[in-house]
Structure 1
Amino acid sequence: MAGITEYATATGNDYAEHERTYAGVMKMSKIGTAMAVLVVISLAIGGVTGPWWLCGLGVALAIVGGVIGAVSEKGTILPIIGSALLLVALWYIV
């Protein structure tokens, strides 16, 4: 058909940049979701049981884990998962 331009052959197409941007958006959405879950867990611990210092620690750990995950190449959420386990363990101790 005349007049239809294929994306792969269009002039000015930067498919590599498109793939890089998509990978970045997926990485940040994965890390952001994990951080939000950790913050919600922290708020639940502080609001239900009362140790608000533990809530603050959980939010700080979410931020640190998110930064570590953001600078990693694939966007790992392992630091956030480790922070969540640490937070729950401290909650049981307190």
Structure 2
Amino acid sequence: MDWDLDDDALQLLAIELHDRIAPLLSAAASSPWMLFEEAVAYSRIPAGTFRRLSAAGLIPSHGGRTRLYHREEIDEAILSGRAVLTGAAEPPSRRAD
């Protein structure tokens, strides 16, 4: 498909696409729901340890074959001491780097 658009038309198209896509991207980035890899990175818990804590129900997970983890539930598991963690004494959002 050969579109012959001038620079002004391309600029307007780019602005329109940005305005439509930006809210979708920011909503996805701010979601409290995470996949396993995201939850491991967020919590800074080694993957094997995180998997064992999740399997034991100490870190709640949701879903079927693909497990989802909620940011507040991970924080609560760490704060409450349900999850005895090496190197993760506080929720990641409150740790100073």
Do they fold alike, i.e. is TM over 0.5?
Answer: no
Q: Decide which structure has greater strand share.
A: 2
Question: TM-score category by the smaller chain?
Answer: 0.3 to 0.5
Q: Decide which structure has greater helix share.
A: 1
Normalising by structure 1, what TM-score?
A: 0.41
Normalising by structure 2, what TM-score?
A: 0.40
